[in-house]
Amino acid sequence: MGLLHMPTLNLVLTVVGAGFILSIQSLYYIKVFFDEFHLPPSYLKVVQILFLVWNAVNDPMMGYMQDLGFCGMKWIMDRRKVVLYAGPVFAASFLLFWFPWSTSIGWVTALHLLVSLFIYDTLLTLVLSAYCGLCVENSRSHEDRVRVIVYGEIFTIVAGLLIYPLETMPHTNEHYWLFQLCCVVIACISAALMAFSGYHLKVERPINEDHQLEKFQEGEVVKETKQDGWKNALTVSLQIAKEPRFICLVGAQFFRILRFIANENFLIVFTEGLLVNNGFFEKNSGSLGLFYVLARSSGSILFLLLWVPTNRFGTQAVIQSLNILSIFNVIFILYAGVNNITAIAIFIILENAISRCGWQGFYIVVAGEVVDTDMKTNNRKTPFSTIIFTLKALFNKPADQLAPVFVLSLFLERGGYPQLTVPCQQFYEDNYSNSTMFNSTSMESTTLSGYPTVAECTNYSQWMFLALAIFPAICAIGESMFVAFDQYWRRHIKGKTGHLGDD
């Protein structure tokens, strides 16, 4: 396998451009809407639930348009043109989040977030579903697909470096314009990368040489009426959705996305609540910025270390090994406890490394196997890659919105987040030295003027600790169960037909 492969490099530049804006949007949008735009937490839940409805329509619709082509826009069936034309527009939609409509009227701020999410996610789905289809169709073997993912992970490390300057710049309200300026620059760079990638891409869509049936194929569906097109789309979707390996793929990645998004959205919240408050890091310091860079890049570094084992043993075996490591990591932090801030720092790095390691890449490889199996099982002339990826997204995308809702409802709000965030931060800054234990029993009932009680801040910290430790454990167990079922069906399919993807 050559280390430098130009067609792969041109392809990966698409996800590099998208990765720049994805890394900033997912990490900062909740924090910005809470801290800068003063969005009430109750509105966030409403927005996230409404957004689930749009995701139910958005993702499969993009897949049908790209693979079946009955929307009337022929260019949308050309994955290269989607990247070239829609990529820069997607980059521009990223800027919608950072310029407030209101900072005092809750419903206006909620509407701002809802509209931004709708537009941003629609364009994200269009561009990245085309990219995922290209990953499968331009890479015919397991090794080629792993190489695409490895290239992407290398550039993900580069994208992760953006957090350092953003986190070390002043975070007061009067300096928010610096963050906005950085976002504009990032959007321009991302748009240029995606346009360059789309312009230079060469696409060869594979053909099933064993194809015999003539229904549901691309050229014929285009000629059908719109009604027949949607009927065929529904039939194809039901065929795919009933396949056991597709169900296992969706279930396993659903739990992985829950875990990844929780870590992504609340990395800064957990770190400030459990490490900065206790004096382990100084806020806006270079060491804190480096900690965030390490947390966000460690998963890509770990994936690169697992390149050879993934080629040798397969993606499912590696995923299961990582989940076993996750359980040991959770046992370690629960044993260490909320007062061991060094152990918490180690746990955050390990948890982010494991949850981010191949969170998309591993499942692109597995989805490639599902595409191959579907094409042969249903005797299709060409692979329905985008339909499979967007159907998968139909079931997986709700995890993007449910993860923050679950973490907030089950854990953080029980501890008083976000109302106690600023008061407790000020309390510890003014009344505790770096060496003072967080749950000091000598002051449990103390109340100082202008501050919450120590008991309230202790409760705040303990619920944050539980969210940090327990939620990943639940997700790791759920993911492992579906991966185990998938391994069973792979062996079953191999024994029955002799076909086992490319793994």
Q: pLDDT tens across 319-334, in order?
A: 999 999 999 999 999 9
Say how far apart CA 330 and CA 350 lie, in whole Å: 10
Q: Tokens standing for 1? A: 């396998």
Burial bucket for residue 114 (CB in 10 Å: 0-12, 13-18, 19+): middle
The answer to whether residue 1 sits within a structural domain is: no
DSSP-derived 3-state class of residue 484: helix
CB atoms within 10 A of CB 145: 25
Q: Is it true that the peptide bond before 309 is cis, omega within 30 degrees of 0?
A: no
The answer to whether residue 140 sits within a structural domain is: yes
Phi, psi of 502 (to 5 degrees): -125, 10
Say how far apart CA 184 and CA 179 lie, in whole Å: 9
Residue 444: closest CA among 457, 431, 425, 460: 457
The answer to whether residue 237 sits within a structural domain is: yes
Contact present, 385 and 136 (Cβ < 8 Å):
yes
CB atoms within 10 A of CB 74: 10
Say how far apart CA 106 and CA 123 lie, in whole Å: 26
Contact present, 46 and 155 (Cβ < 8 Å):
no
The answer to whether residue 490 sits within a structural domain is: yes
Per-residue pLDDT of the chain (503 residues; tens, 9 = 90+): 445 667 777 777 887 888 888 888 887 888 888 888 888 878 888 888 888 788 767 777 776 777 666 556 677 777 788 888 889 999 999 999 999 998 888 889 999 999 999 999 889 888 888 887 777 666 666 667 677 777 777 777 777 677 777 767 665 667 788 888 989 999 999 999 989 888 877 665 554 444 444 444 444 444 444 445 567 777 888 888 888 889 999 999 999 999 999 998 899 889 988 998 888 888 878 888 889 889 988 888 898 888 888 888 888 899 999 999 999 999 999 999 999 999 999 999 999 999 999 887 788 788 888 887 787 777 777 777 777 877 887 788 788 888 988 999 899 989 988 788 878 877 777 665 444 444 444 344 444 445 678 888 889 999 999 999 999 999 999 999 999 998 888 777 766 655 554 44
Q: Tokens standing for 294? A: 């390490």
Strand partners, 502: 500
Q: Residue 264: which residues within 8 A CB-CB, separation 6 or more?
A: 26, 27
Count how many Cα atoms sit within 13 Å of the Cα of residue 195 in the half-sphere of its side chain. Answer: 12
Q: Maximum Cα–Cα distance for the chain, whole Å?
A: 80
Q: What is the DSSP annotation of 216-233?
A: S-HHHHHHS-HHHHHHHH
The answer to whether residue 377 sits within a structural domain is: yes
- Give me the domain span that covers residue 168: 6-208+224-494
Say how many domains are in the chain.
1
The answer to whether residue 215 sits within a structural domain is: no
The answer to whether residue 501 sits within a structural domain is: no
Alpha helices in 6-78 (DSSP H): 6-35, 41-67
Contact present, 318 and 142 (Cβ < 8 Å):
no
**Look-up of token digits 């705040």:** 460
What is the CATH classification number for the domain harbouring 134?
Answer: 1.20.1250.20
pLDDT digits (tens, 9 = 90+) for 119-151: 998 898 888 888 877 776 666 666 676 777 777
The answer to whether residue 214 sits within a structural domain is: no
